């Protein structure tokens, strides 16, 4: 009995620490049932990453948009401060400013913003890995817009025509620095 309690306690501690950052609640949801029953063992703990159902989830951190522009912040914890950008339908051009609020260099914690159809994300990310300096393959037609990669303390921006994300989609913005896309992504839509 006591052992079981210890297990439960550590499971809760794990769940709590998993929430320590700004990671969304679902991590705790999948971690908690581990103690419950063997049946829960097959629960999709790994099959439910944050990007699994982005358009189904309600955006929790919408970007502030003013004058057909927004500023997204990125930090040393491999996070953007927004997970959704809504471009007003009246905008004929749209600017994404990116500000790296951390201190780590672009070579170890580089961030950029790439805009593309969700279905193209994986391919862009894979083909851009290691392509210096911006981790985007040259002339990649799947890329709708992208900033350069920046390090701590730096800022950059990119301006593009929102008409390119009006039809089709869903569209996403993400960081193509190797290994960052899973945590650093969000939806972008015209509305």
CA atoms of 19 and 14, how far apart (whole Å): 9
Q: Which of residues 40-79 bind Co ion (CB under 5 A)?
A: none
CA atoms of 49 and 27, how far apart (whole Å): 9
Can you tell me which of 125, 173, 177, 188 binds Co ion, judged by CB under 5 A? 177
CA atoms of 113 and 157, how far apart (whole Å): 9
What three-state secondary structure class fits 132? coil
User: Per CB under 5 A, which region of 95-103, 113-121, 133-141, 170-178 contacts Co ion?
Assistant: 170-178
Neighbours of 113 (CB within 10 A): 28
Q: Does 146 bind Co ion (CB under 5 A)?
A: no
- Do residues 109 and 152 make contact, with C-beta atoms less than 8 angstroms apart? yes
Taking the complex as a whole, the smallest distance from the CB of residue 182 to Co ion amounts, in Å, to 11
Residue nearest to Co ion (CB): 175
Can you tell me which of 85, 136, 150, 175 binds Co ion, judged by CB under 5 A? 175
All residues at 6 or more sequence positions from 168 whose CB lies less than 8 Å from its CB, including other chains: 117
User: Per CB under 5 A, which region of 21-29, 90-98, 137-145, 182-190 contacts Co ion?
Assistant: 182-190
Taking the complex as a whole, the smallest distance from the CB of residue 78 to Co ion amounts, in Å, to 6
Count of all residues that appear for the chain in the document:
191
- One character per residue 92-121, x = contact with Co ion (rule: CB under 5 A): -------------------x----------
Laid out side by side, the sheet with 65-66 consists of 65-66, 69-74, 94-100, 155-160
Taking the complex as a whole, the smallest distance from the CB of residue 175 to Co ion amounts, in Å, to 3
Binding site for Co ion (CB under 5 A): 111, 175, 177, 180, 184
């Amino acid at each position: 009995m006591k052992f079981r309690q210890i297990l439960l306690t550590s499971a809760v501690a794990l769940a709590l620490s998993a929430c320590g950052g700004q990671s969304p609640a679902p991590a705790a949801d999948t971690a908690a049932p581990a103690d419950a029953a063997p049946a829960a063992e097959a629960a999709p703990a790994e099959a439910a990453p944050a990007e699994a159902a982005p358009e189904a989830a309600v955006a929790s951190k919408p970007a502030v948009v003013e004058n057909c522009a927004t500023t997204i912040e990125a930090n040393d914890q491999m996070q953007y401060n927004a997970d959704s950008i809504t471009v007003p339908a009246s905008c004929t051009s749209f600017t994404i400013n990116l500000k790296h609020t951390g201190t780590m260099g672009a070579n170890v914690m580089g961030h950029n913003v790439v805009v593309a159809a969700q279905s193209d994300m994986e391919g862009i990310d894979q083909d851009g890995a290691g392509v210096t300096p911006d981790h985007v393959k040259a002339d990649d037609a799947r890329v709708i817009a992208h900033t350069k990669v920046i390090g701590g303390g730096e800022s950059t921006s990119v301006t593009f025509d929102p008409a390119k994300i009006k039809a089709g989609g869903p569209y996403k913005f993400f960081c193509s620095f190797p290994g960052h896309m899973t945590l650093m992504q969000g939806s972008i839509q015209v509305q």
